[in-house]
Structure 1
Amino acid sequence: MLSIKNLNLTLGVKHVLHNVTLNIPIQGEIIGVFGPNGAGKSSLFKSIIGEFKYSGQINYQNKPITNHLKAITYIPQKSQIDLDFPIDVTNVIISGSYKNIGWFKKKGHETKDKLNELLKKMELEDLRHRQISQLSGGQLQRVLIARALMSESDIYLLDEPFVGVDFRSEQIIMTQLKQLKEAGKLLLIVHHDLSSAETYFDRIILINKTVKFFGDSKQAMEPEQINSVFLSANKETKGSYA
């Protein structure tokens, strides 16, 4: 169980998150996180992984989340990736295994086999030696997903994984995410395309600084729910925090 209780987050003078409370079982589920710009979606993820200091409680299996950060994999927005860093596709992907094997330990056959498997599944074999600065948006996102899949986690947090991604890449990524769901993992995905919400997600969190709705994806997309979150955005949500 991922349990968030009375989470409040202030960044500078902005009260970004207000009394966020969620209880989410780890049972094989893909949950969408929707809200207007500045609603606190990315900030919620960064609070969970400990990047932001908050008040309230975040627990995993009834213990503080800080004791279980290895159980979580976070995939940031592509815009946060330093494309000028000289690293190729293979080394980006294989770095995802370091939290399990350590930074300075020799990579064994199991790690190399998993790397080759992911290169094939994500259709990256022909790009394995290419610098990340030379990749398209969809190719880069597939690399980041492959990197995340190099390690075994219980919870996956993906921040806008489909922004700037071509249709084929989106299909490839969704196939892998559904396999994680079938393996019993919890996936939380910040998303913006309302048209694909019911297709992609089992349940949806609607957030605008606080949780406005959490439940069935079809119910979340009803006009009453959407309007309560997005039409009030100009009044309730100002600033640069997502």
Structure 2
Amino acid sequence: MLEVKDLNLSLGNKQVLQNIDLSIPIQGEIIGIMGPNGAGKSSLIKSLIGEFKPTGSALLNDDYIQNNLKYVTYIPQKAHIDLDFPINVEHVVLSGAYKDIGWFKWITSSTRQRLNQLMQTLELEDLRHRQISELSGGQLQRVLVARALMSESILYLLDEPFVGIDFHSEQIIMQQLRKLKEQGKLLLIVHHDLSKTEAYFDRVILLNKTIRFFGDSVTAMQPEHLNKTFLNATVQNGTS
């Protein structure tokens, strides 16, 4: 169970998140986090993993998320990746296994098998030895997803995974995310494209500093909920 209780976040003099309360079972579900620019979507994800320091609490299976980060996988926006760091695709993907096997350890045969499987499934085999600075946006996003899938988690947090990528890469990634759902994982995805809401998400959190709606994706797209989120709510500019 993911439980967020009275979570509030201020950055400088701006209140970014207010009175966030959520209770979500870990039972195989893809949930979108949607709202206007500056609504606090990315800030909510970063608050859950401890990158930001909100008040209130965020629990995973009755313990603070910060105590259970080995069960959590976070995929940041591509814009936050240092593309100048000299590392190739294979090593980036392998690094996703280190929280399970530890750093400076021999790669086990099962880890190597998992690596090869993901390289094939995410169509990265031909890019195995390419530097990440040489990748397209879609290729890089597939590498980040492959890295995330190298370890076993129960909660996956993705921040705008489909921004600036090609349609083919988006479909490959979405196929993998649906497989995680089938395995009983919980996925929270910050997303902006309203046209794909019903196809991609089981439920949707409509966020604009506070939660304006949380429910099934079809109902979330009704005009009254969208207007309440995108038109009638005050946006804290500068924080997405």
Q: Same fold (TM over 0.5)?
A: yes
Whether 2:26 is the aligned partner of 1:32: answer: no
Alpha-carbon distance in 2 for matches of 1:132, 1:239: 32
Alpha-carbon distance in 2 for matches of 1:21, 1:212: 11
The Cα shift of 1:67 comes to: 1.4
Whether the aligned pair in 1 keeps the contact of 2:93 and 2:144 (CA below 8 Å) is yes
The answer for the alignment partner of 1:148 in structure 2 is 148
The answer for the alignment partner of 2:8 in structure 1 is 8
Alpha-carbon distance in 2 for matches of 1:85, 1:138: 18
How many residues get paired? 240
The Cα shift of 1:238 comes to: 3.2
The answer for the alignment partner of 2:238 in structure 1 is 240
**Map 1:56-71 → 2, pairs under 5 A:** 56-71=56-71
**Map 1:73-92 → 2, pairs under 5 A:** 73-92=73-92
Matched residue type, 1:36: P
Alpha-carbon distance in 2 for matches of 1:94, 1:139: 16
The answer for the alignment partner of 2:127 in structure 1 is 127
Q: Secondary structure at the match of 1:195?
A: helix
The Cα shift of 1:237 comes to: 1.2
Alpha-carbon distance in 2 for matches of 1:240, 1:114: 40
Alpha-carbon distance in 2 for matches of 1:11, 1:72: 24
TM-score of the two chains, using structure 1 as the length reference: 0.98
Alpha-carbon distance in 1 for matches of 2:12, 2:41: 17
Whether the aligned pair in 1 keeps the contact of 2:31 and 2:203 (CA below 8 Å) is yes
Alpha-carbon distance in 1 for matches of 2:103, 2:41: 31
Whether the aligned pair in 1 keeps the contact of 2:203 and 2:217 (CA below 8 Å) is yes
Matched residue type, 2:150: M
Q: Secondary structure at the match of 1:123?
A: coil
Q: Alpha-carbon deviations, 1:49-86, whole Å to 9, x = none?
A: 11111110111111221211111000000000001111
Matched residue type, 1:183: Q
TM-score of the two chains, using structure 2 as the length reference: 0.99
Matched residue type, 2:147: R
**Map 1:110-125 → 2, pairs under 5 A:** 110-125=110-125
Matched residue type, 1:228: K
Alpha-carbon distance in 1 for matches of 2:66, 2:85: 29
**What is the identity percentage for the equivalent residue pairs of Structure 1 and Structure 2?**
66
The Cα shift of 1:239 comes to: 2.4
Gaps of 5+ in 2: none
Whether the aligned pair in 1 keeps the contact of 2:15 and 2:236 (CA below 8 Å) is no
Alpha-carbon distance in 1 for matches of 2:239, 2:111: 37
Q: After TM superposition, where is structure 1 displaced by more than 3 Å over at least 4 residues in a row? A: none
Q: Secondary structure at the match of 1:23?
A: strand
Alpha-carbon distance in 2 for matches of 1:140, 1:41: 22
Alpha-carbon distance in 2 for matches of 1:64, 1:133: 36
The Cα shift of 1:42 comes to: 0.5
Alpha-carbon distance in 1 for matches of 2:171, 2:64: 35
Whether the aligned pair in 1 keeps the contact of 2:209 and 2:236 (CA below 8 Å) is no
Alignment root-mean-square deviation, CA = 0.7
Alpha-carbon distance in 2 for matches of 1:86, 1:24: 39
Alpha-carbon distance in 2 for matches of 1:135, 1:63: 39
The answer for the alignment partner of 1:102 in structure 2 is 102
The Cα shift of 1:240 comes to: 1.5
Alpha-carbon distance in 2 for matches of 1:189, 1:53: 20
Q: Secondary structure at the match of 2:156?
A: strand
Q: Secondary structure at the match of 1:19?
A: strand
The Cα shift of 1:106 comes to: 1.0
Q: Secondary structure at the match of 1:43?
A: helix
Matched residue type, 1:14: K
